[in-house]
Amino acid sequence: MEREELFRKISVENEKKMVLLVLDGLGGLPVKGRTELETARTPNLDLLASESELGLSHPIAPGITPGSGPAHLSLFGYDPLKYEIGRGVLEALGVGVAIGADSVAVRGNFATLENGLISDRRAGRIPSEKNREIIAYLRERIKKIEDIEIGLFPGEEHRFVLVMSGAGLSDQLSDADPEAVGRPILYARAKSEAAAKTARVVNLFIDRLTAELAAFRPANTCLLRGFAQYPAIPSLGELFKLKAAAIAVYPMYKGLAQLVGMDILETGRSIQDQTASLKRHYADYDFFFMHVKKTDSYGEDGNFAGKVSVIEEFDHWLPEILELTPDVLVVTGDHSTPAVLKAHSWHPNPVLLKAAFQRQLPPDGRFLDVITVADHPAQGSGKAGVVDRRYKFCEKTCAGGVLGTFSAMDVLPLMMANALKLKKYGA
């Protein structure tokens, strides 16, 4: 039996609530002996960690650094090597375009055509403002080609996204990009018979756009790369019988959540806003995905202190989430973004899982930072004898946790099991 077939078969609905809190790029590497997590003052996370199952998860496999797309698919229980999300679709998600199952998306560059040859593949990096103006102009003029609807969405500088919608489209096309200057426009070629119509529409689009933009030099033609269809991915409802909602600020994460059938909840941009949104909608769903972006953004910038401050901000609002007493709570990252690397990395994600039927803490010897509650009475459990000292929630403590090191694809199944949403397999 295939993995997905198994989940379709054994998953059941019940009233239990699961909350997945993702701090993007959470895992880090030490600077002056301490990682971002180890540096952050996180009394609430530490107390929670002391009452939780801990472990480390690999988004894809040991050594593999993931993009946000596959890293989140894995967290949502999907095999990220089975479902590839094409660059065009990710770009569309990134600019906030909801695309459907009958659409093909592709990312575009405005470019410069001179005497029939491409002289600048980025049209002199026109200002984003100019880009928006050109897109508005084109939207009025190119609405349909044959029976296919044309959607155009501005990105930064010279970048845009083209979304074609209608019957009989395929993404089996070669890129319409000569990949070097001094060459003429390269048209897309169909890689299979099924893509012939799409190739025709794409190439008519390039000609129409080039004709319309004659007066817009340097942005007087375009290159198109990464044709991609919306992946046919079963929803969280189909696979796991979940009614799921996402609380995310950035378009790409909303798009990824939509891709797997989550509802997108309205929220402001701060962690406080996101927490408020979770509380407001808590009665309406049984699975919540809340995405905190800035840990990753600061990591990518190499801003160690900035990343530490976002972790501390998250820690500050955590008690409000805990007040909801979800049946299963996970705090983790989608991938690591060590500030010292200024990039995503392959290091596994710290995972914290809190639920009713959880295992005990590992032996005392593994406590890393022992903090007695007497020192921090405000953060104590209040229950005598329940937690009188605590872990530091960090990569090292998680490496010694009872969950061990596992695949991030198993995070959702573990949550489901702890929520008693998975029946026994076999007799």
- Looking only at the bridges linking them, the beta strands covering 244-247 and 389-390 are unpaired
Least distance from its own copies to the Cβ atom of residue 129, Å: 26
* Interface with its own copies, residue 64, by CB under 8 A: yes
Least distance from its own copies to the Cβ atom of residue 127, Å: 25
Least distance from its own copies to the Cβ atom of residue 102, Å: 23
Least distance from its own copies to the Cβ atom of residue 355, Å: 11
Q: What is the DSSP letter of 195?
A: G
| 19/145 with CB nearer its own copies | 19
Q: Crossing angle for the helix pair 271-280 and 304-322, nearest 10 degrees?
A: 20
Alpha-carbon gap, residue 54 to 52, rounded angstroms: 6
Least distance from its own copies to the Cβ atom of residue 270, Å: 26
CA dihedral (162, 93, 313, 361) positive or negative: negative
Alpha-carbon gap, residue 338 to 295, rounded angstroms: 10
25, 43, 80, 299: which one contacts its own copies (CB under 8 A)? Answer: 80
12, 13, 41, 61: which one contacts its own copies (CB under 8 A)? Answer: 61
* Interface with its own copies, residue 3, by CB under 8 A: yes
* Interface with its own copies, residue 427, by CB under 8 A: yes
| 185/331 with CB nearer its own copies | 331
* Interface with its own copies, residue 67, by CB under 8 A: yes
Closest by CA position to 336, among listed 408, 256, 251: 408
Question: What is the footprint of its own copies within residues 315-344 (CB under 8 A)?
Answer: 338, 340-341, 343-344
Least distance from its own copies to the Cβ atom of residue 168, Å: 26
Query: DSSP readout, 240-286?
Result: H---EEEE-SSHHHHHHHHHTTPEEPP--SSHHHHHHHHHHTTTT-S
The residue written with tokens 């229950």 in the block is 383
Least distance from its own copies to the Cβ atom of residue 28, Å: 10
19, 46, 52, 69: which one contacts its own copies (CB under 8 A)? Answer: 69
Closest by CA position to 118, among listed 203, 162, 179, 173: 179
* Interface with its own copies, residue 31, by CB under 8 A: no
Which region among 44-52, 75-83, 212-220, 241-249 touches its own copies (by CB under 8 A)?
A: 75-83
* Interface with its own copies, residue 384, by CB under 8 A: no
- First vs last C-alpha separation in the chain: 15
* Interface with its own copies, residue 43, by CB under 8 A: no
Alpha-carbon gap, residue 273 to 266, rounded angstroms: 10
- Please work out the total of residues on this chain that contact its own copies, with binding judged by CB under 8 A: 74
Token pair in block for residue 396: 């090292």
